[in-house]
Amino acid sequence: MPASAAPSADNPLLEPSRLPLQLPPFAEITLEHCREAVLAGMAEQRAEVAAIVGSPEPPTFENTVVALERSGRLYRRAGAVFHNLASSVATDRLREVERELAPLESAHGDALRLDPALFARIDAVHAQRHDSGLDAEAVRLVERYHLDFVLAGARLDEAGRARLTELNRELSELSTRFGQNLQLATEAAAVVVGDVAELDGLGPEEVAAAARAAADRGVAGFLIPLLLPTGQPVLTKLRNRELRRRVFEASVGRASGGEHDNGPVAVRIARVRAERARLLGFDTHADLVLADQTARSTAAVDAMLGRMVGPSLANAQAEAAALGEVAARDGVTDLAPWDWAFYSERVRAERYSVDTAALRPWFELDRVLVDGVFAAAERLYGYRFTPRPDLGGYHPDVRVWEVSDADGQTIGLYLGDFYAREGKRGGAWMSSFVTQSRLLDTRPVVVNNLNVTRGADGQPTLLTLDEVNTLFHEFGHTLHGLSSAVTYPRFSGTSVPRDFVEFPSQVNEMWALWPEVLAGYARHVETGEPLPASVVEAIEAAQLWGEGFATLEYLAATLLDQAWHRITPETEVGDPQGFERAALEAAGVAHDLVPPRYRTTYFQHVFAGGYAAGYYSYIWSEVLDADTVEWFRENGGLRRENGEVFRSRLLSVGGAVDPLEAFRAVRGRDADPTPLLRRRGLC
């Protein structure tokens, strides 16, 4: 759009929505509206910042930092809609617009953070922050802005700022390309099956779903779409070993060749990040990232991960031996990675009488959501969820609930988008359309996305036990957003360090198997019978089985992330597959039967998301999570009083309080890693 062009007068994004809590009026919004509004929003924010910089008044907290917090409202509103749509309902035209906007948005961010005059004002406010009568949240806001600008390059000279802008623009374009390549490659790698007999092991509803997926794609037979991680759920059930091999190889090989090859893209991303870190005064990109995380240093990350490598590898090798014995009974003497999940389920069933595939009839999506996830939130926090069918989402699959607190006051809106479909990126996530802020008088509008397979026509959608846990996990992020009670948008909800953001979501997983919660939702979809107590006991007894594999595949991914982001501009990378193999071997996590949870070419978290050099954060947060679970158990578990402590002292404060201080306010001390090691069978 030319600089002089104005957005169309009927663009619904130009003003705050009049729907409840500013829910975007999706039915009225077109892709071109999004494009126009993002461009107009950037221009408007530049004008707002120019007014801040041009003020003749000396810099103060109000006329500089608060003014920055108020700026960019159109840009945030339009960007939130556009980027959510790009993740959930992508089309060729949307991808084209995304490629157009990515470098412009990168340049916009640089224009603000690398403005010497703006930083001079922030620097002046920062110098006087303790002498200006500011409250604790305001002081922290000043400190956060100052650190944000410093880490973004505000202290560079003119030549440095120019080079940084070039690098950031290239990174933006590369990350967009990586994400788009991955989405298209994942769709293209879906496995076509011609003969229904090959699907032996899948239930009738899964076979019907595969038939529908093929029909939707316009291919004959059956289609097995791929999910984001290496492991695919169907591998636990398919009896046809050749089909298991095809699915596994499709998963690990995606985006590793052809027109959507992400190998060269990943290499270039890592190189540009390395140069950027050097420019900003850091040895590696990992050092740059850790400067603003609770871990603080790569040495701290190495110490934690290193403690786990040996025990997890030993556990995985013991599991492999057990699998080999079971596989040999089928005549399989050359156990392969595509056999692991299948025989792991066999061992689980034989040792613990747990067949996780057979549990699906007890986990119907709506019942898990309403009688499980929502019910636990009401028991803990007093939150109630009222369906709002009068409010529409961005896709027919999306449903909306109004959320009220224990006093009956509306605190936010919750959107659920649970089904897999073409145009939707893999994985599961939470994001926001509106964030809470007392300054802006806004309340949260949040969305959860999953990628579960819809039930066949007229049939309910049944979840695996892993999908149940994922739903509870992502809803933990939602609770973080809904519970926010801060003044400044910079601190709202999940605006906390990357290695802390997973902590509340992982805590929320504990309620999935909590007896009172499980009894509410785990009922057979046809008979209404509760999940037998003996099965629940068996699930709990079996929880350590498979932890060797799970921990090792996670460590392999996170150490691969660290390897890519500890290169320097001088590092000779070679081909990405060779670099990956060498990195895994050097870290001691290379195992023929246990591939990384994500390989380089489909590691969306780190090459097209916000987890670069930060994938360790899941297990770093799990230290806090496991210790907090102990606290809940020590204090009676699912009690309103416990929920109020966790909500008021941690969830509600977002980034307005140092995260580890918030943890200590709940736990009464620093975290103890022992509960995590015990949970994963590492001690």
Active site positions, annotated: 474
d(CA 269, CA 507): 33
**Are the beta carbons of 668 and 662 closer than 8 angstroms?**
no
CA distance 391 to 414: 11
Contacts of 430 (CB under 8 A, 6+ apart): 446, 447, 448, 449, 474, 475, 477, 478, 481, 494, 505
DSSP-derived 3-state class of residue 192? strand
Residue (of 618, 616, 636) closest to 626 by Cα position: 618
Cβ-contact 659, 294 below 8 angstroms: yes
Contact 434, 80 (CB under 8 A): yes
Cα–Cα separations (whole angstroms), residue 191 to 85, 452, 595? 26, 17, 20
- Angle CA 612–614–618, to nearest 5: 135
List, in sequence order, every beta strand (DSSP E) within 590-682: none
Task: Using alpha carbons, select from 364, 427, 434 the residue that is nearest to residue 19.
Answer: 434
DSSP states of 345-402 as a string?
Answer: HHHHHHHH---GGGGGGG-BHHHIIIIIIIHHHHHHH--EEEE-TTS--SSTT-EEEE
Report the alpha-carbon distance of residue 489 to residue 535 in Å, rounded.
46
Alpha-carbon torsion 546, 547, 552, 555, what sign? positive
Cα–Cα distances in angstroms (integers) from residue 211 to residues 12, 170, 206, in the given order: 39, 41, 9
Whole-Å CA distances, 312 to 308, 309, 555, 594, 683:
6, 5, 9, 11, 10
Residue with tokens 């600008």: 149
What is the C-alpha to C-alpha distance for residues 456 and 242, in angstroms, rounded to an integer? 26
For the chain, what's the residue count? 683
Structure tokens belonging to residue 375: 């019910």
Sign for the CA dihedral angle at 166, 172, 175, 179 comes to negative
- The tokens of 324 are what? 């080999």
Strands 410-419 and 445-452: parallel
144 in Cβ contact with 490 (< 8 Å): yes
User: Strands 384-387 and 399-404, how do they pair?
Assistant: antiparallel
User: 550: number of CA atoms within 13 Å, CB side?
Assistant: 13
DSSP 203-223: -HHHHHHHHHHHHHHT-SSEE
Bridge partner list, 417: 449
Q: How many angstroms separate the CA atoms of 276 and 441, rounded?
A: 37
Place of tokens 């740059």: 288
